[in-house]
Amino acid sequence: MNKHENALNKKVFRVGIYLRLSNEDKDKLNKDDASESIKNQRNMLTQYIEKHQEFELVQEYCDEDLSGAGTYRPEFERLIRDCENKKLDIVLCKSQSRFSRDMEIVEKYINNKFKEWNIRFIGLSDNADTFNSGNKKSRQINGLVNEWYLEDVSNNIRSAFHSKMKEGEFISPFASFGYEINPNDNNKLIIDPVASLIVKNIYNLYLTGLGFTAIAKYLNSKNIPSPSLYKYKKGIKLNVNSNRPREEIKWSTNAVKTILTNEIYLGHLIQGKRTTVSYKNHKIKNKDKSEWVRIENTHEAIIDKDIFNKVQITMKERTKPMKKTGVVHIFSGKVFCLECWHYMRKKNSKDHEYLLCSGNRDGYDDCINKASIRYDVLTNIVLDAINNKIQKFYDEKELENLDSIKKENRFNKKIKALELQKIAIEKQISKTKNYLKNLYEDKVNGVITLNQFKDLVIEYNKNEDIYNDQIKSINKEIAYYKMKEKSSKNNKKIFSKYQKLDKLNRIITQEFIDKIYIGKLNEKTKSRDIQIKWNFE
């Protein structure tokens, strides 16, 4: 055979190799091991090609997606396109399962399209080879086994996750905004000191009367990073002012709502709310509430229980915020008709805002309470009522206060009396000291005997001890009454802080008022009955 003949006879096959990380690689997964697995696959395939002179490596395709059923396999798709465009003669893989564990894909390409496109598929470790027609059955069996394996892995992962959830372990790779994953324990949450402040701020803003949209606008106006932007920036030192958030990662109405309703901020974990349809279909499906896994007190709370509950109640009470400003009006959810108990709706005219019984709208004409009430009129009425309430409260305090002045005087008198007592005793002590001096002189002058002198000195010492004890206990009493006197002076200071309210806001109405009932207008007197149900009496 001459050179020419040799070249003519020699057909060269263009080989594409396909490499992929798989679940088997997952356990040992850090980046080095992963590239090791890819390297091993590549070595195995290139050695095989070198042994076959007629094979020529023309393209490498490498996907680093872990799950064999993963929908995102860009290199796989490139491989298929190149096959379709006849750029390859042979597709070479470590095994059929590396190509795909999904039976449908194996069927579609290896057993059908490749035949149509005249492409040979070779899987080395499981001896799959479409060139060998007797090989088809074993390839299909391999394919089935691979698919069972995949379903098994998927179910195992699900049940492992489920038992972790039941033990109150956090299983998501990302912590909810406000928390971070404990670096010492991947399944526990710890408070993120920066983001948790933003969460607290959102709860406070909501209670001041802002709606979800208004809060989102406010946060964006202050360049506070949204949860996704924050996540993106984490690890980088956070500088709120210098980094303008990109449009698509600004705060949204929904992001605010999610934060205001998430019980994670109470320290509870609620997991398993969503699942994927199956191991093949990665579409997200919501689970029924009864299937959620809820474990309380798994981590430190960010929001106080009272505040959280207040927000949930307010959320139920609130009607839709006014479209223009996103601000909820200060009586929202609190004003009802005294005649029919329907809710009083807010209406706007050119000049004024009104409240009108909703029992009268759109064909319903059941309520005798037809006249609207002006919003500013009601605001003034309620403000006066609240001021009266506060005034009364402080009047009562004032009475107590007078009482405390009396007490204070009493303490003062006590102290004075005790001090007088103390002076008397001290006089007594100095008197007996003089007496002792005289006694000594008497003894020296021979007026009394030594024995008499001794007895009198003992008597004197006894008395002095008694006097000293008395002074000690008087000092204690004085200190006690002085302390009492001081605390009653402090009370007086607190009471004098009170100032009359001159403007209503949502926090005050929320704090004071449960409901307001508006009666019908008396046409003769032009007055109407307005009843306020207070949160306290």
**Residues at the interface with Zn ion (CB under 5 A):** 337, 339-340, 342, 357, 359, 367, 369
Do residues 363 and 381 touch, judged by C-beta distance below 8 A? no
Shorter beta-carbon distance to Zn ion: residue 226 or 372? 372
- The strand pair at 120-123 and 90-93 is best described as parallel
Shorter beta-carbon distance to Zn ion: residue 202 or 373? 373
Shorter beta-carbon distance to Zn ion: residue 25 or 339? 339
- Minimal distance, residue 333 CB to Zn ion, in Å: 16
DSSP state of 249: G
Shorter beta-carbon distance to Zn ion: residue 100 or 369? 369
- Minimal distance, residue 319 CB to Zn ion, in Å: 17
Query: Which token pair is 53?
Result: 């002179």
DSSP structure string for 404-435: HHHHHHHHHHHHHHHHHHHHHHHHHHHHHHHH
Q: What angle do CA 265, 268, 271 make, to 5 degrees?
A: 105
- Minimal distance, residue 345 CB to Zn ion, in Å: 11
Q: Is 444 helix (H, G, I), strand (E, B) or coil?
A: helix
- Minimal distance, residue 346 CB to Zn ion, in Å: 15
Residue 61: Cβ within 10 Å count: 21
- Rounded CA-CA distance 85/79 in Å is 10
- Minimal distance, residue 364 CB to Zn ion, in Å: 10
Q: Is 199 helix (H, G, I), strand (E, B) or coil?
A: helix
Task: List Cα–Cα distances, 349 to 355, 359, 375, 527, in angstroms.
Answer: 11, 20, 11, 22
Shorter beta-carbon distance to Zn ion: residue 365 or 441? 365
- Minimal distance, residue 362 CB to Zn ion, in Å: 14
Shorter beta-carbon distance to Zn ion: residue 198 or 355? 355
Shorter beta-carbon distance to Zn ion: residue 165 or 355? 355
Shorter beta-carbon distance to Zn ion: residue 272 or 519? 519
- Minimal distance, residue 317 CB to Zn ion, in Å: 19
**Whole-angstrom distance between the N-terminal and C-terminal Cα of the chain?**
114
- Minimal distance, residue 380 CB to Zn ion, in Å: 22
Do residues 122 and 129 touch, judged by C-beta distance below 8 A? yes
Do residues 300 and 294 touch, judged by C-beta distance below 8 A? no
